[in-house]
Amino acid sequence: MAENPEILPGLFRKEYTKMTAVLCRHFGLKHIEIAEDIVSETFLKASETWPLQGVPDNPTAWLYTVAKNKTKDYLKHTRIFETQVSPALLRSTGESEPAFDFTAETIADSQLAMIFAVCNPANSPESQISLALQILCGFSISEIADAFLSKPEAIKKRLLRARANLRNDQFRIGPLLPADVQARIDAVLRTLYLLFNEGYFSKSGNILIRRDLCAEAMRLAHMLTENPLTNSRQVEALLALMCYQSSRFEARLNDHGHTVLFEAQDQRMWDRELIDRGHYYLVNACSGNAVSKYHIEAGIAYWHTTPPGTPKWEHILHLYNQLIIIEYSATTALNRTFAYAKVHGHEAGLTEAQKLGLENNTYYHSLLGYLYAPISAKQAAEHYRRAIDLSKSPAEIRTLECEYAKLTAATR
């Protein structure tokens, strides 16, 4: 037995959705709560057993074995499944084992089928993505609310309605059909995009970068590229973006956990292998005529990986000008303004930023703080203070407080 009880939270994040997907593939989405309950009970048993007996040598296999046994017991002792679960799962004696296992192939197939099943047009695009983030990505209601810039209560109601719609819709999780892939791929990619973004710059919790979320988003995106039905130029563009962004993880935080601005990052710490993978996927993505938001964002990320001295900001600003037309968001507008200031100077950037009027946005005030810093330390400090007050992320607040302290010290 291993001696590391702290392993369980990481396993929960990594394996919970895989196990749920496999069970849902056999139970159907109508019984999704049953699948979630079985998996939750599995992790509960681990939390009770491992502190006393130690962590198993192969904790993942232990979890899968317990989940499978709990499923067998449930199917054996619950009469409702004799009429509501596929006869393939039950024999007349009620003694046989369920016809499934947690193999790597079964998990991959189930997750792929599950994500497209959850992104069901029976729900609105926002509800599809919210439900996928909860079921497949393990997001809490507050994390989903942050992703959509919405209130938790509104997200809770949205999820309840979406689950009810799935229960009422008469279908099972089955093989992917080209028509379903075409109709649902946008919601699937948006889900993976939001999952990666929460990991890349977390708005929740006490850490700024959550690598487990980024790794899961990349794993699922790579899974899409491996299947001829689901691979597309958009998928490869999204994966290129993820590779470029992930390449800078080691350089983005200092020893104190504070953000290191792009210009101050040590490029020797960038992961060249990931950058090369990004190049590979971006070249593939650009081999056709399709241009999506993921192509443009991957292009922006590409320019950020070029060597020092490369005239990149004009290209980046041009791409942001395109992106903001395709899909406007406050984040895109703020990033575009930052690029605008890099090209035209801080004062011009301030004029552009103040047109946005995002007075209740923490990133708006942190941008103004950055732009004012070489012009007026006092005004810069005021905006950093406002950004601190608006932020909900403890890790982000620590970084902002460092900038604020530098500016207030300079004004004394």
CATH label of the domain that carries residue 409:
1.25.40.10
Report d(CA 48, CA 260) in Å as an integer. Answer: 40
Last residue of a domain, one of 102, 121, 151: 102
Judge whether 342 lies within some domain: yes
Judge whether 304 lies within some domain: no
Residue type, 108: A
CB atoms within 10 A of CB 399: 23
Judge whether 201 lies within some domain: no
Bridge partners of 55, per DSSP, are: 2
pLDDT of residue 117: 82
Mapped onto helix, strand or coil, the DSSP state of residue 253 is strand
- Name, of 33-47, 59-73, 134-148, 304-318, the range with top average pLDDT: 304-318
Last residue of a domain, one of 50, 79, 102: 102
Last residue of a domain, one of 102, 118, 140: 102
Q: What percent of the chain has pLDDT over 70?
A: 85
| 21, 391, 392, 393 from 401: Cα distances, Å | 42, 11, 13, 12
Judge whether 291 lies within some domain: no
Bridge partners of 259, per DSSP, are: 253
Give pTM, 2 decimals: 0.78
Q: What percent of the chain has pLDDT over 90?
A: 38
Judge whether 211 lies within some domain: no
Judge whether 52 lies within some domain: yes
Cα–Cα nearest to 336, from 372, 300, 302: 300
Give 84 or 349, the one with higher predicted confidence.
349
Judge whether 178 lies within some domain: no
Domain that holds residue 371: 324-412
Lowest mean pLDDT among 77-81, 108-112, 196-200, 205-209: 77-81
Judge whether 35 lies within some domain: yes
Backbone φ, ψ for residue 2 (5° rounding): -80, 165
- Structure tokens belonging to residue 339: 């690029």
* Residues shown for the chain: 412
Q: Look at residue 90 and tell me whether its pLDDT is greater than 50.
A: no
Number of domains forming the structure of the chain: 2
| 133, 261, 291, 296 from 312: Cα distances, Å | 34, 16, 20, 14
pLDDT of residue 9: 76
